[in-house]
Amino acid sequence: QVKMVNGDATLPGTIVNGSAVNGHVPAKSKDAGVPNGGGEVSHEPPDGGTRAWLVMVGAFLCNGVLFGVINTYSVVYLHLRKQLQDAGDDEASSKAALVGSLTIGTTFLLSPVSGILTDKIGLRRTTLCGGVLTCGGMFLSSFFTDNVTALYFTYGIMFGLGAALAYTPSLAILGHYFKKYLGLVSGVVTAGSSVFTAIMPILLEKLVAKTGLATSFRVLSVISSFVIFCALLYKPLQPPPPPPRVKPGRSRFNTMMRSFINFDNWKQKKYIIWALSIPIALFGYFVPYVHMGKFVEDSFPGEEKNLPVMCIGITSGLGRLLFGYIADLPRVNRVLLQQIAFVLIGTMTMCLPATGSFPLLLAIALAMGLFDGCFISLLGPIAYDICGPRGATQAIGFLLGLCSIPLTVGP
Q: How many CB atoms lie within 10 A of CB 127?
A: 31
Q: Which residues make Cβ contacts (< 8 Å) with residue 282, sequence separation at least 6?
A: 403, 406, 407, 410
Across the chain, mean pLDDT equals: 82
| Positive/negative CA dihedral, 199, 205, 208, 214 | positive
Query: What local confidence, expressed as pLDDT, does residue 323 receive?
Result: 93
**Beta partners for residue 5, in sequence order:** 8
The amino acid at residue 194 is S
**β-pairing verdict for 19-20 and 15-16:** antiparallel
Which is more confident, 254 or 344? 344
The pLDDT tens digits for 323-336 are 999 999 888 899 99
Asked if 305 contacts 297 with a C-beta cutoff of 8 angstroms, the reply is yes
User: Residue 394 above 50 pLDDT?
Assistant: yes
Domains of the chain: 3-42 (no CATH), 43-239+265-270+284-409 (1.20.1250.20)
Q: Which residues make Cβ contacts (< 8 Å) with residue 321, sequence separation at least 6?
A: 184, 187, 188, 191, 373, 377
Tell me what the mean pLDDT of segment 91-114 comes to.
87
DSSP secondary structure code for residue 15 in this structure? E
The pLDDT tens digits for 2-37 are 444 444 444 444 444 444 444 433 333 344 444 444
**Torsion-angle region of 235 (φ positive above 0: left; ψ -120 to 50: alpha; else: beta):** beta
**Torsion-angle region of 47 (φ positive above 0: left; ψ -120 to 50: alpha; else: beta):** left
The pLDDT tens digits for 121-162 are 889 999 999 999 999 999 999 998 888 899 999 999 999 999
Query: What local confidence, expressed as pLDDT, does residue 273 receive?
Result: 92
Instruction: Say if residue 410 is exposed, middle or buried (CB neighbours under 10 Å; 0-12, 13-18, 19+).
Output: middle
Rg (CA), the chain: 23
Instruction: Say if residue 227 is exposed, middle or buried (CB neighbours under 10 Å; 0-12, 13-18, 19+).
Output: buried
User: Residue 204 above 50 pLDDT?
Assistant: yes
CA pair distance 377, 264, nearest whole angstrom: 24
Tell me what the mean pLDDT of segment 103-107 comes to.
86
CA pair distance 194, 188, nearest whole angstrom: 10
Q: What are phi and psi of 24, to 5 degrees?
A: -95, 115
Q: Which residues make Cβ contacts (< 8 Å) with residue 25, sequence separation at least 6?
A: 13, 15
Query: What local confidence, expressed as pLDDT, does residue 7 receive?
Result: 43
Q: Which residues make Cβ contacts (< 8 Å) with residue 174, sequence separation at least 6?
A: 55, 56, 59, 182, 185, 186, 189, 380
Instruction: Say if residue 293 is exposed, middle or buried (CB neighbours under 10 Å; 0-12, 13-18, 19+).
Output: buried
Tell me what the mean pLDDT of segment 46-59 comes to.
88
User: Residue 339 above 50 pLDDT?
Assistant: yes
Tell me what the mean pLDDT of segment 350-370 comes to.
89
What global pTM score does this model have? 0.77
CA pair distance 25, 22, nearest whole angstrom: 9
User: Residue 1 above 70 pLDDT?
Assistant: no
CA pair distance 96, 83, nearest whole angstrom: 10
Which is more confident, 15 or 120? 120
CA pair distance 351, 353, nearest whole angstrom: 6
CA pair distance 388, 218, nearest whole angstrom: 40
243: confidence class by pLDDT, cuts 50, 70, 90: low
The amino acid at residue 128 is L
Please report, rounded to a whole number, the percentage of residues in the chain having pLDDT higher than 90: 35
User: Residue 52 above 80 pLDDT?
Assistant: yes
Which is more confident, 26 or 276? 276
Which is more confident, 288 or 396? 396
The pLDDT tens digits for 164-194 are 999 999 999 998 898 888 999 999 998 888 7
The pLDDT tens digits for 75-86 are 888 888 888 888
Asked if 317 contacts 373 with a C-beta cutoff of 8 angstroms, the reply is yes
- The lowest-confidence range among 261-265, 288-292, 319-323, 346-350 is 288-292
Query: What local confidence, expressed as pLDDT, does residue 290 receive?
Result: 73
Asked if 265 contacts 271 with a C-beta cutoff of 8 angstroms, the reply is yes
Cα-based distances in Å from 286 to 77, 224, 404: 14, 21, 11
